[in-house]
Amino acid sequence: MTPHPLLEVRDLAVEFPTAEGTVRAVKGIDFTVERGRTLGIVGESGSGKSVTSLAVMGLHRGATVTGSAKLDGTELIGTPDDRLRALRGRKMAMVFQDALTALHPYFTVGDQIAEAYRQHFGGTRKAALARAVDVLGDVGIPEPARRAREHPHQFSGGMRQRAMIALALSCDPDLIIADEPTTALDVTVQAQVLELLMRLQQERGLGIVMITHDLGVIARVADEVLVMYGGSAVEQAPAEKLFTAPRHPYTRGLLDSLPRLDDEDGAELRAIPGSPPSLLAPPAGCAFHPRCPAYAATSDGRCTGDRPPLRTVADGHRSACVLDEVTA
Amino acid sequence: MTTETLHAADRAQPALSDALLSVRDLGMTFPGARGVLRRMPGVRAVDGVSFDVRPGETLGLVGESGCGKSTTGRMLVRLLDPTAGTVAFRGQDITRTSQGRLRPLRSKFQMIFQDPFASLNPRQTVQQIIAAPLRAQGASSGEIAREVRDLVQLVGLAPEHLERYPHQFSGGQAQRIGIARALATRPELVVADEPVSALDVSIQAQIVGLMERLQRELGVAYVFIAHDLAVVKHISHRVAVMYLGRIVEIGDKDDVYQRPAHPYTKALLSAVPLPDPAAERARERIVLLGDPPSPANPPSGCTFHPRCPKAQARCREEAPLLTLTTRAQQVACHYPET
């Protein structure tokens, strides 16, 4: 066991130059992922959750990334691409939302997995194909030897997602970043894929970053949760705590606005007014203040001053609301 | 279909005298692709669907992709012509009416679509979009201007939005425009096909809340089509669950959600993750094997049998009919949950 955490991200920021000005998609976030644990990153469109994962993987195009992201002690930010390529797939791998665009339509599923394997381990094509059949079997694809010879379009949605997970696992990485891996799937198939990820994590001690807009999925798989809004982290807590005792007004609003299967009948949904902020012209101070009931009640100047940082509000629980009086 | 099964279907579905919309044995078979020598067999997207919608109520139509819920919704408003069965609006069969004869009735049933941007003309202003159905009904320009102003206010937009184009709005606002257009002709029924699934979570609640308020104020009935079981539970009075083109269970919301009688309904409900880690970990979960089958090649007997944890020999051979359970819901299963 090394003393380093598996993934340690510090003050990560991502900026995109656009015709209308610089978009600050991620404004300095911190998080840590340990082996065998799952960090859930939750947020709405434009919150910066996907950009964060791409920046860690070194897959951002045309963006300026600053800060630090260390995988098992190795710095990833600013590392030349050829060195990153040796880590990508081997030490860390990614699972995307849409398997049909992430997999190449022209090559068989088996060939694609074998190719990824040979990139890192070399060996014969035959040995790599055998490895591909093995991992396809591991992720619960029936008749893996036959399916390995098929093309992605011959797979159903759920099977394709399994194939992409197999591709990610082929080189036995330590970290998996899954960006909305079940969003395109039917709910019964989503349950299968989540079950699979959790089984693989247990068997291999994988660290997982699960990026999703679905709080139900977060509750199902995450040990730790990071809530993002307008490019910043607004709350970070153990999953249990986040759902039972949310501190940030945005997290609370999100939970209150969610229709739930276990709701009392006739319970009114309390919607958050307004829309998520524009990244081109973000509100001053706390990005959430124009929609925040606490700000509406106080008009506190601190909400519109500097962007509030995360502060510890309880054991292992951090929130970025200046109006939250820390009593602990 | 034999006389006996027809009888059984009749028993299960007594015609409601007060129904706004009565759907009986609705079916849609899409023609198969043309092969070298002959046409491939057709795809039965919807098969034998029957239900009623009462004035002012919401019927939720749930199911996974390919179950036929959207096809059903499109047939209800005659965007698709069914290949079997009838749709009656206030007792009048609209299934075979010519489009011309249908026009005066069209104002009474409208549709809201999933993608608000795809369903709004990008080259028309909000004013023009909402006025279009009124103009089609032959309203005067004075009436139209007044109505449009009222409608944008009703759905929570401001008068200054009227001169803007769809791309200048966020997804939630664009959906409000779609709703205003649907309500312009004062319909008694609105078929909403996944109206919130393209929206951010915090915006979904706004639109669901808006639709609920409009129902209270205007008495409009909804057929609310969605794959999200939690949203459907929130907005619906009654719920129909579809699987591979058929309704497998239909009943009052509370019965269907609290005491599901069909194994598929039960599995579907247990697959939805709850936003509560403690409950999630303690929960008994039925994980179904495999994917939903393709309607082009449906399994024999009960189409759910290959994935059903309770399937018996009979299920492979004989398709179950919708029958009344001991409670008020109807279920199509040989071995329903009790």
Which of A29-33, A304-308, B19-23, B40-44 is predicted with the least confidence, judged by mean pLDDT? Answer: B40-44
Mean pLDDT of B169-176: 91
CB of B229 within 8 Å of any CB in chain A? yes
DSSP state of B293: P
**Element containing residue B326 per DSSP (H, E):** none
Complex confidence, ipTM: 0.86
- A196, closest residue in chain B (CA to CA): B287
d(CA A89, CA A82): 13
| 0.80 surpassed by pTM | yes
The pLDDT, as a whole number, for residue A1 is 52
Question: pLDDT at residue B11 above 90?
Answer: no
- Tens digit of each residue's pLDDT (9 = 90 or more) over B255-310: 999 999 999 999 999 999 999 999 888 888 888 888 888 888 889 999 999 999 99
- Chain A contact for B117 (CB, 8 A cutoff): no
pLDDT value of position B66: 85
Identify which of A208, A210, A167 has the alpha carbon closest to the alpha carbon of residue A50. Answer: A210
From CA B169, how far away is CA B177, in angstroms rounded? 9
Bigger pLDDT: B3 or A12?
Answer: A12
For residues A284-300, one letter each, b for 16 or more C-beta atoms within 10 angstroms of the residue's C-beta and e for the rest, the string is: ebbbbbbbbebbeeeeb
Query: Number of structural domains, chain B?
Result: 1
Per-residue model confidence (pLDDT) at position B10 = 44
Q: How far apart are CA A159 and CA A151, in angstroms?
A: 12
| pLDDT (tens digit per residue) in B81-97 | 999 999 999 999 999 88
Count of A-B CB contacts under 8 Å: 135
| Residue B194 in domain | no
- pLDDT for A2 equals 54
Q: What is the pLDDT of residue B121?
A: 94
Identify which of B54, B51, B46 has the alpha carbon closest to the alpha carbon of residue B70: B46
Q: Who among A188, A190, A215 is closest to B267 (CB)? A: A188
The token pair that represents A243 in the structure block? 């759902």
Give B93→chain A minimum CA distance, Å: 35
Q: What is the pLDDT of residue B6?
A: 42
Q: Which residues in chain A have Cβ-Cβ distances shorter than 8 Å to B292?
A: 186, 188-189
Contacts of A259 in chain B (CB under 8 A): 204-205, 208, 228, 230-231, 233-234
Nearest to A43 by CA among B202, B272, B174: B202
Q: Per-residue pLDDT for chain A (328 aa), expressed as one digit of tens each?
A: 557 899 999 999 999 998 888 899 999 999 999 999 999 999 998 899 999 999 999 988 889 999 999 999 999 999 998 999 999 999 999 999 888 888 999 999 999 999 999 999 999 999 999 999 999 999 989 899 999 999 999 998 889 999 999 999 999 999 999 999 998 888 988 999 999 999 999 999 999 999 999 999 999 999 999 999 999 999 999 999 999 999 999 999 999 999 988 877 777 888 999 888 888 888 999 999 999 999 999 999 999 999 999 999 999 999 999 998 764 4
pLDDT at residue B289, rounded to an integer: 82
Q: Is residue B171 a part of any domain in this protein?
A: yes
Dihedrals φ, ψ of B166, to 5°?
A: -50, -40
CA distance readout (Å), A91 to A157, A173, B315:
26, 4, 48
Residues 6 or more apart whose CB falls under 8 angstroms from that of A190 comprise: A182, A217, B271, B273
Distance from CA of A159 to the nearest CA of B (A): 8
Question: In B70-119, at which residue ranges do the beta strands (DSSP E only) sit?
Answer: 84-89, 92-93, 109-112
Give the mean pLDDT of chain B: 89
DSSP state letter for B305: G
Give yes or no for residue B128 having a pLDDT over 50.
yes
Q: Please enumerate in sequence order all residues whose Cβ is within 8 A of that of A199, keeping only pairs 6 or more positions apart, or say none.
A: none
- Beta carbons of B329 and B249 less than 8 angstroms apart: yes
Task: Tell me which residues of chain A, numbers 236 to 295, contact chain B at a CB-CB cutoff of 8 Å.
Answer: 239-240, 243-244, 253-255, 257-263, 265, 268-273, 275-276, 291
Classify the C-alpha dihedral A111-A115-A117-A122 as positive or negative.
positive
Judge whether B262 lies within some domain: no
Nearest to B268 by CA among A182, A190, A265: A190
Asked if residue B168 belongs to a domain, the reply is yes
Closest in A158, A213, A271 to B291, CB measured? A158
Tokens of B116: 């608000």
Shortest alpha-carbon distance between residue A154 and chain B (Å):
13
Quote the pLDDT of residue A110: 96
Q: With an 8 Å Cβ cutoff, are B277 and A258 in contact? A: no
In 3D space, the residue among B76, B60, B74 whose CA is nearest the CA of residue B22 turns out to be B76
A214 touches chain B (CB under 8 A): yes
Taking the C-alpha atoms of B186, B190, B193 and B196 in order, what is their torsion angle to the nearest 10 degrees? Answer: 60
Beta-carbon contacts of residue A13 (< 8 Å; ≥ 6 apart): A24, A26, A27, A28, A29, A65, A66, A67
Phi, psi of A29 (to 5 degrees): -120, 155
Amino acid at B63: G
Render pLDDT for B51-76 as a digit per residue (tens, 0 to 9): 999 999 999 999 988 899 999 999 99
Q: What value, to the nearest 5°, has the Cα angle with vertex A256 and ends A254 and A260?
A: 100
For residue A5, the distance in angstroms to the closest alpha carbon of chain B comes to 24
State which residue of chain A sits closest to B173, comparing Cα positions: A275
Other CB atoms closer than 10 Å to residue B226's CB: what's the count?
A: 22
Predicted confidence band of residue B225 (pLDDT cuts 50, 70, 90) = very high
Which of A261, A278, A279 best probes binding to B when mutated, by most B CB atoms within 10 angstroms?
A: A261
Cross-chain Cβ contact A217/B209 below 8 Å? no
Closest A-chain CA to B253: A265
**Domain interval for residue B133:** 120-186
Q: Is residue B129 part of a domain?
A: yes
Cβ neighbours around B225 below 10 Å, total: 28
